[in-house]
Amino acid sequence: MTSSERRHAPDGPVASELTRPRPATPDTVVDVAGITRRFGAVVAVSKVSFRIRKGEIFGILGPNGSGKTTTIRILCGLLAPDEGSASVAGFDVARETESVKSSIGYMSQAFGLYKDLTVNENLRFYGGLYSIPDAELDERIRTTRERMHLSEIGGQLAGTLSGGQKQRLALGSATIHRPPVVFLDEPTAGVDPAARRLFWQIIRGLAADGATIIVTTHYMDEAERFDRLAFLSRGHLIALGDPAGVKSRFPGAASLEDIFVELQQRDEGVPNGTGGGR
């Protein structure tokens, strides 16, 4: 950790959790132990550790270049760490990648809906990709539409939906196989406040049913909804805890947005080529 990072890093209970994450328990679903990932001379993620329990809504936050995308890709089994280890839903991300991929749902900002297919047809397509048996698929489609508040528009083309409806259809498509872990990458970008509020009601419902939700977002008002969050800066984990606890460790920061802006301004001032995550 650089002198700048030490100056901005929190101390006390939050800091202790950075080096000694909460012990693994039977409900630990994601276990990250000292992962490091390099791209040539650039250290994108450096010795990051945390644990996430079943049913938790957990945020991974940080400015562009902080390492959050690399961390997510490692947890999704798309990249192997150079050092350390991580498991998701009980599967090692480096050695059991196919099992990891079948145990997660992933929704990106550019989730691939088929605009010329209806809501039902999109759900049927993704249900088939996840090998849901035909005998179960119709019921899964019905219950997914209901949960995503799309019950009345099953026959409507996806290309004609509003932004909020498209986001909910994308979430339904990504979770129709009922994965225990769901990754959401900027899930509400570009939708109006009412659609964002409904989306988060749905997320809370998924978590209440036992799904573990891992989110990246630039909306710091959304980050206030997380059970816990991790702040990354230049590949380092610099804060970990519930929103109130994290804020209390940054003197002068009245909100998570204050912390985010401070980190962004600091990181953008780093000369090119000196390192940092992606």
240 and 161 in a single domain? The answer is no
**In terms of domains, do 141 and 195 share one?**
no
Q: Which residues pair with 51 in a beta bridge?
A: 31
Q: Residue 80 sits in which domain range?
A: 3-103+180-268
> What is the pTM for the complete model shown?
0.85
* pLDDT bracket for residue 38 (50, 70, 90): very high
Q: Where residue 45 falls among pLDDT bands split at 50, 70, 90?
A: very high
Residue 274 lies in a domain: no
Both 244 and 131 in a single domain? no
Q: Tell whether the model's pLDDT for residue 156 goes beyond 70.
A: yes
Q: Does 157 share its domain with 186?
A: no
Same domain, 7 and 63: yes
Q: Does any domain span residue 257?
A: yes
Considering the domain architecture, whether residues 147 and 233 belong to the same structural domain is answered as: no
Residue 127 is assigned to a structural domain of this protein: yes
Measure Cα distances from 142 to 77, 124, 147 in Å.
30, 10, 9
Residues 184 and 143 in one domain: no
In the predicted model, what is the mean pLDDT of the chain? Answer: 87
User: Of 150, 189, 182, which is closest to residue 168 (Cα–Cα)?
Assistant: 150
Residue 157 counted as domain residue? yes
pLDDT at 269: 62
Its sign, for the CA torsion 213, 46, 239, 231, is: negative
Task: Look at residue 156 and tell me if it is in a domain.
Answer: yes
> At which of 146, 178, 210 does a domain end?
178
User: What is the number of domains present in the chain?
Assistant: 2
